[in-house]
Amino acid sequence: MKEYEVVIIGGGVTGTSLLYTLSNFTNIKSLALIEKEKNIARINSNSTNNSQTLHFGDIETNYSKEKAIIVKEAAELVAGYVEKNGTHLFNKTKKMVLAVGDDEVKDLENRYHEINDIFPKLKKIDRKEIALIEPNIVKGRKPKQKILALCSEDGYAINYRKLSKSFVEKSLKTNKTIDLMMNTKVEDIKKENKEENYIIKIKKETNTNKETISAKVVVVCAGAHSLILARKLGHGKNLIIFPALGDFYTAKNALNNKVYTMQIKKIPFAAIHGDPDVENPSLTRFGPTTKVLPILERRNPKTFFDFLQVFDLRLKSLKSIFNILYDKDIFPFVMRNFLYEIPFIGKRIFMKNIWKIIPSIKTNEVTFGKKIGGLRPQLVDRKERKLCMGEVKIIKENIIFNMTPSPGASVCLKNAQKDAITTTSFLGLNFDEKRFLKKHRR
């Protein structure tokens, strides 16, 4: 049985950023990365399965000032990395958040004054300036309709699949022992007592035989499946997963830059936005819509049985969901998104969101984005009967479970920094945090 100092479970951007950080900035000598898919970043980090946005907190109007400061610090690390490692990882764009109507304009004015000290490059622009940057926002709009935008030149559309691959390539160039176990599923994980390593039972899809490996430290970065592995060790029993799926509509050459709309503060899902696709900038994506389905991976109905393991069809779980859905802000949001799914009329109802951004766009210019959209494993604390709005991480003895880094891939390197500190403290080893931060400075 092969032994590693650290085993990382999950080969998306969270797991690969940690592999990169531990291999390049610590004195850990042996690592393994286990991924159940054939290749890196095939699920949530795939370019078709996320918004492709590097969130800084400047145009995300549901963030508190405190959260915006934290998210900005985290996003700067990713921006520093992609700037130094190739334009194939990202497209640089402008970005803005658009307010429409008197109430939204007033709210955005207040937001600007709240955060302009954190984001000095963020500019407040009126109708005339908006038209110069994104003429389609103003074209066909009623002259008396008030609009305002906060705009930044510092926008990034990130290909998180390519970013994940870059992290792996950088890891393999070190002199560490690194084993990549692709197409390999974790069957079980256990620890007999405090002194022993974790024993991980794995099975390769191409082989019916099961193997075991051992690790002094385990870090689980498997998205929704992280909670399943946590439950195997008796952790996270207060949590259930509320899988939120997002879809997008598309149009050709509609926008040149990222345009977000104002956010409902109680809702953790992204507001409707329009932005050019990172792999095909001539295609603008509008969305996401939000719906709930009992699966843990988009376009993988087999994960219904995994969902049953982490939802628990008990009264306490059902009461938690009812308590959340009954909220006066969340209930209308859920109902609107339900209407978007109705055949024939759903698209026409959704067009109101697109017209808010581009009033002159025609319904026949917009099509449903096939195989575009992913899944967010939104966690619910069934004891507190509320949504977990921020990061959910479980840290126990020599093991870490990452479930929903907030906001997602944008904080991957900051999350890796945190986990590197914890992991090296478990092992009594060193993390060169100063060099890590210097390396990713823009």
For the stretch 118-173, pLDDT in tens is 999 999 999 999 999 999 999 999 999 999 999 999 999 999 999 999 999 999 99
Please, which pLDDT band fits residue 429 given cuts at 50, 70 and 90? very high
- Measured between its terminal Cα atoms, the distance across the chain in Å is 43
The angle formed by the CA atoms of residues 334, 47 and 266, to the nearest 5 degrees, is: 25
What pLDDT, on a 0 to 100 scale, did the predictor assign at position 218? 98
Distances (CA, A) of 400 to 122, 181, 397, 403, 416: 36, 19, 8, 10, 11
d(CA 243, CA 342): 20
Q: What is the mean pLDDT of the chain?
A: 93
- Give the tens place of pLDDT for each residue, 277-305: 999 999 999 999 998 899 999 989 999 99
Predicted TM-score of the model (pTM): 0.95
Q: What residues contact 80, with CB distance under 8 A and at least 6 apart?
A: 439, 440, 441, 442
pLDDT digits (tens, 9 = 90+) for 220-273: 999 999 999 999 999 999 999 988 899 999 999 999 999 999 987 767 667 899
Share of the chain above pLDDT 70, in %: 99
Segment 27-35 shows an average pLDDT of: 98
Answer yes or no: is pLDDT of 70 > 90: yes
Q: Residue 50 above 80 pLDDT?
A: yes
CA atoms within 13 A on the CB side of 326: 8
Q: Using alpha carbons only, how large is the chain's radius of gyration in Å?
A: 22
pLDDT digits (tens, 9 = 90+) for 89-126: 999 999 999 999 999 999 999 999 999 999 999 999 99
Of 295, 264, 286, 289, residue with least CA distance to 342 = 289
**Is it the case that residue 333 has pLDDT exceeding 90?**
no
- The angle subtended at Cα 155 by Cα 149 and Cα 157, nearest 5°, is 125
Predicted local distance difference test score (pLDDT) of residue 195: 78
Return the higher-pLDDT residue of 115 and 329.
Answer: 115
Please confirm whether the linkage preceding 288 is cis (ω < 30° from 0): yes
| CB neighbours of residue 207 within 10 Å | 10
Q: Are strands 399-404 and 177-181 parallel, antiparallel or unpaired?
A: unpaired
Q: Is the pLDDT of residue 357 over 80?
A: yes
